[in-house]
């Protein structure tokens, strides 16, 4: 991407943002993308933005599923939604006192490092206040896409609220394009090759590495 940009990367919460929230899901067959997710993500890819997933998965700490099962779910998500440049997973529970579990900013920092950028050049899309708080604490832009589980006070506190994932993506691209108004927005049918982050292959089909307590899957 040439010229000035607001964002190098878009970070996305997993459950409730990319796919329907199935608590502690270990079954790839239960993965259901939210409406419009694939087209929206392909627009970001076509615009040259890197993509990462940042997700709390306390089911690992609670023994409700294994890392192998988590990998299978992530492979299914990528089969449906296309590749992500990296995955950052917090495997801890609230009582563990880690630095990576949202609303703490560890996952955001880890994703930015893995993608070769800084949090201030990242936007994070999520469905609850924890996501927005983590983004703001790291210096990233936080975008709330409310669902039925989002509390009213979280919506009121969010600096940027979008009706759904495609709307959030459209606004990111509009703001990005406003710096270079002569360049048209990429069409939904455009395709781009995903970048490799940190010299690692795409994460959903690879073994995890741990970054600052989070389980990272290089893209």
Peptide bond into 103 cis (omega under 30): yes
Write out the H or E segment, with its range, that includes residue 106.
helix 106-114
Catalytic-role residue among 8, 15, 127, 131: 15
For the question of residue 13 being annotated catalytic, the response is yes
Contact partners, residue 204, CB within 8 Å, separation at least 6: 71, 74, 75, 77, 78, 83, 84, 87, 217
DSSP one-letter code for 96 = G
The whole-angstrom separation of Cα 200 and Cα 216 is: 11
- CA-to-CA distance for 160 and 60, rounded, in angstroms? 31
Query: Is residue 42 annotated as a catalytic residue, yes or no?
Result: no
Question: Phi/psi class of residue 12: alpha, beta or left (left: φ > 0; alpha: ψ in -120 to 50)?
Answer: beta
Strand partners, 209: 216
Catalytic residue among 8, 13, 85, 131: 13
Strand partners, 218: 86
Q: Which region holds residue 63: left if phi is over 0, alpha if psi is between -120 and 50, else beta?
A: left
Q: Which residues, 6 or more positions from 169, have their beta carbon under 8 angstroms from its beta carbon?
A: 10, 40, 41, 43, 44, 125
| Active centre residues (catalytic) | 13, 15
């Amino acid at each position: 991407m040439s010229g000035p940009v607001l964002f190098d990367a878009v970070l996305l919460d997993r459950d409730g943002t990319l796919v329907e929230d199935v608590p502690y899901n270990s079954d790839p067959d239960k993965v259901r993308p939210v409406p419009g997710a694939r087209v929206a993500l392909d627009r970001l890819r076509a615009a040259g933005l890197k993509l990462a997933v940042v997700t709390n998965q306390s089911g690992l700490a609670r023994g409700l599923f294994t890392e192998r099962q988590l990998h299978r779910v992530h492979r299914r998500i990528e089969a449906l939604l296309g590749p992500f440049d990296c995955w950052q997973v917090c495997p801890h529970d609230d009582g563990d006192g880690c630095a990576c579990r949202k609303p703490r900013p560890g996952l955001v920092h880890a994703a930015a490092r893995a993608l070769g950028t800084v949090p201030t050049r990242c936007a994070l899309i999520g469905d609850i206040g924890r996501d927005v708080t983590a983004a703001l604490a790291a210096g990233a832009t936080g975008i709330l896409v409310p669902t039925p589980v989002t509390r009213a006070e979280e919506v009121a506190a969010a600096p940027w609220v979008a009706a759904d994932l495609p709307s959030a993506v459209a606004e990111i691209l509009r703001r990005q394009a406003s710096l270079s108004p002569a360049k048209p927005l990429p069409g939904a049918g455009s395709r781009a090759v995903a970048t490799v982050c940190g010299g690692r292959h795409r994460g959903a089909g690879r073994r995890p590495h741990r970054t600052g307590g989070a389980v990272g899957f290089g893209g």
